[in-house]
């Protein structure tokens, strides 16, 4: 089964420095991204959605800039599934945007948009953005 790549962008009223811990740490992600997030001894992230544990590794990151998680377990059908979250700032307006690049086995693009709209709404409520 092939995956679907979705790119979404959200304006958020918070600094990149403030947002980075929310996208890069288990405790930060647990507040808005999933039901629970923990890290095991191999530094794999265990991300729980709807009672299912999804294992991901942080494949790449740059402080105050972006993180990329590659999903490792069998619950996700596409072996190349990943989520990348980038913090970008417009140099002219200083507006911060959160760009999501989601490559998953969810084929319904509207469903992916709705899912991300909801979780970004939760993040905005936490950071006041």
Question: Is residue 101 scored above 80 in pLDDT?
Answer: yes
- Write out pLDDT tens, residues 1-19: 457 889 999 999 999 999 9
66: nearest Cα among 117, 35, 100: 100
Range of the domain at 79: 4-127
Q: Residue 77's pLDDT is what?
A: 54
Does the CA dihedral 9-98-61-30 come out positive or negative?
negative
Which residues 6+ apart lie within 8 Å of 126 measured at CB?
Answer: 22, 31, 32
Query: How would you classify the pairing of strands 4-12 and 82-89?
Result: unpaired
Give yes or no for a contact between 3 and 80, defined as CB atoms under 8 angstroms apart: yes
- 19-31 mean pLDDT: 97
How many independent structural domains does the chain possess? 1
Residue 29's CATH number:
3.30.530.20
Q: Residue 79's pLDDT is what?
A: 66
Identify which has the larger pLDDT, 77 or 116: 116
Distance CA 34, CA 49 (A): 6
Whether the full predicted model's pTM is greater than 0.85, yes or no, is yes
Q: Residue 1's pLDDT is what?
A: 45
User: What is the distance of C-alpha 17 from the center of its chain?
Assistant: 16
| Mean pLDDT of all residues belonging to the chain | 90
Q: Residue 80's pLDDT is what?
A: 77
């Amino acid at each position: 089964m092939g995956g679907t790549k979705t790119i979404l962008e959200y304006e958020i009223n918070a600094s990149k420095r403030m947002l980075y811990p929310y996208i890069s740490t288990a405790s930060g992600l647990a507040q808005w991204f999933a039901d629970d997030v923990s890290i095991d001894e191999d530094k794999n992230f265990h991300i729980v959605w709807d009672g299912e544990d999804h294992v991901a590794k942080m494949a790449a990151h740059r402080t105050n800039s972006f993180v990329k998680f590659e999903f490792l377990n069998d619950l996700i059908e596409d072996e190349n599934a990943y989520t990348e979250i980038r913090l970008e700032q417009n140099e002219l307006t200083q507006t911060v945007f959160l760009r999501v690049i989601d490559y998953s086995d969810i084929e319904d693009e509207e469903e992916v948009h709705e899912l991300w709209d909801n979780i970004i709404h939760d993040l905005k409520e936490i950071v006041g953005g």
